[in-house]
Structure 1
């Protein structure tokens, strides 16, 4: 489900393709149940303009999620939640990089060690981690774009976004842009952001012509060492996606969900809500029928 699924009739959060998390700015724990109902009552007073509310991706552990969901239902909205993506993360609990590295899967540790040995035998490689504005950052941003074009990844839908994010994050002290160069040429890049004790792995890519050097794994280990031992973060977060390699680096997984709410007191809200819940019920019935059919064939066989 996307915000675009409901068109211009939906009130949506300021999130998009690049968003790892959406939520309030500030602490909402002091808001009472009546405060939440008042907020939703005011939203419903404007439901002719926005008969549908669609917010994502949300942290289910934040009070914002459960209290908003309850208040919307109390004020008469039809509500539902939906899966956005899995989120892999690491809680450090004061551990050093050496402590963290010791617990990694043996295969991953061997991959990193072999990659470093191959790079060292070449005699000409280096890793730079950029965190400040300036000419060096501009070269690193150009390196990032170059590697991304040579990687397996699809072109960015908004090419100016990542360079702009790097410059803004550098100006605010959040940026950790890692570049691995081999014989002077960038072959792996990773964009990490560090803020409020969290390191967020935002974008990564490596040149697909050098997989034998494991440049992505070697660079990940270097950045991990930096944020753990130098930045002293308490959490490292892969943000979006259930890519298989992430579970090797991170031991924990949580899910980011969305909230959708329909005002049945409006024609558009009633119509969209009916379609949504009828479609959901239909998919469940179809899945149950398929499961029963499979079970019957197994019993006959």
Structure 2
């Protein structure tokens, strides 16, 4: 397909800005070094069709990452890696929700406790977690969209994607769609997915008209309790982004990277590769010059 990043045809992964992770299906550790070379040799045989390869976001701890990178370089590609986003996550190691809660920052603990007390004093409120297909889920999807419109989030570019994801996930038993209602009206919502011992926090939003009730934090705590004590997950994953609030909930951070490879044996691959590496060198040089300038001004001052 045509790559917007390089303005040329490229072999790209089936991922987009909704993707928290991309990778192969199956155990790549079963592949030998010769298998990897054969794969990359076959790719290069089609390099007139795909002079550029661009895969992201990838797990650097997965053998797929290093072995593919080495095999591409071994077959003559110019290769590079690039940062996609930070990924905050929590490893439970058998802990209960109460164990986890005790380790949270005191400010966050107090926010959750105070938020629940305010909701209880204010009257009618409750939390529902939807995990199965049916009429209740359809109402919850409509409520999710309503809260999203009242939140700080920008409208979804593909409005049918999230409802479709909810229905598919519910059919497979993966869905945990949380909804906090206040006097019968939804004011906070979160879409989580649970599969293979992992809980993935996919989307969240709250009505910006009720920040004093901390509905987002209260709902997050309820979903955390559910996936830890009921689903018994081993990991909770915030997926994409370095938003400041995530480090309060998750103690660990890792980075998701991309791999880009250029075939210099094609005119397109050669020119795109030269532009890529020249641009990278130029940015590093400019950053170094700015840093040296700052140091010099500090010394003079």
Give CA deviations for 1:79-129 in whole Å, capped at 9, x if unaligned.
000000000000000000010011000000000000000001122000000
Task: Give secondary structure in 2 for the equivalent of 1:244.
Answer: coil
The answer to whether the Cα contact below 8 Å between 2:13 and 2:56 also exists between their aligned partners in 1 is: yes
Q: Evaluate the alpha carbon distance shift between residue 59 and residue 234 of structure 1 in structure 2; reply closer, same or farther with a 3 A threshold.
A: same
Task: Give secondary structure in 2 for the equivalent of 1:233.
Answer: coil
Give CA deviations for 1:209-260 in whole Å, capped at 9, x if unaligned.
0000000000000000000000000000000000000000000000000000
Give CA deviations for 1:241-281 in whole Å, capped at 9, x if unaligned.
00000000000000000000000000000000000000000
TM-score for the superposition, normalised by structure 2: 0.99
Instruction: Tell me by how many angstroms 1:33 deviates.
Output: 1.0
Instruction: Tell me by how many angstroms 1:8 deviates.
Output: 4.6
Task: Give secondary structure in 2 for the equivalent of 1:5.
Answer: coil
Q: Evaluate the alpha carbon distance shift between residue 238 and residue 274 of structure 1 in structure 2; reply closer, same or farther with a 3 A threshold.
A: same
Q: Evaluate the alpha carbon distance shift between residue 221 and residue 99 of structure 1 in structure 2; reply closer, same or farther with a 3 A threshold.
A: same
- Superposed, which structure 2 residues align to 1:183-222 within 5 Å? 183-222=183-222
Unaligned 5+ runs, structure 2: none
Give CA deviations for 1:13-50 in whole Å, capped at 9, x if unaligned.
00001000000011101111111011000000000000
| RMSD after superposition | 1.3
Q: Evaluate the alpha carbon distance shift between residue 163 and residue 36 of structure 1 in structure 2; reply closer, same or farther with a 3 A threshold.
A: same
Task: Give secondary structure in 1 for the equivalent of 2:270.
Answer: helix
Give CA deviations for 1:177-205 in whole Å, capped at 9, x if unaligned.
00000000000000000000000000000
Task: Give secondary structure in 1 for the equivalent of 2:272.
Answer: helix
Give CA deviations for 1:143-174 in whole Å, capped at 9, x if unaligned.
00000000001000100000000000000000
The answer to whether the Cα contact below 8 Å between 2:8 and 2:268 also exists between their aligned partners in 1 is: no
Give CA deviations for 1:26-80 in whole Å, capped at 9, x if unaligned.
1101111111011000000000000000000000000000000000000000000
Instruction: Tell me by how many angstroms 1:298 deviates.
Output: 1.6
- Measure, in 2, the Cα distance between the counterparts of 1:107 and 1:38: 55
Instruction: Tell me by how many angstroms 1:3 deviates.
Output: 4.9
TM-score for the superposition, normalised by structure 1: 0.99
Instruction: Tell me by how many angstroms 1:4 deviates.
Output: 2.0
Give CA deviations for 1:127-147 in whole Å, capped at 9, x if unaligned.
000000000000000000000
Q: Evaluate the alpha carbon distance shift between residue 290 and residue 2 of structure 1 in structure 2; reply closer, same or farther with a 3 A threshold.
A: farther
Task: Give secondary structure in 2 for the equivalent of 1:29.
Answer: helix
- Measure, in 1, the Cα distance between the counterparts of 2:137 and 2:294: 57
Instruction: Tell me by how many angstroms 1:2 deviates.
Output: 11
Q: Evaluate the alpha carbon distance shift between residue 119 and residue 2 of structure 1 in structure 2; reply closer, same or farther with a 3 A threshold.
A: farther
Task: Give secondary structure in 2 for the equivalent of 1:6.
Answer: coil
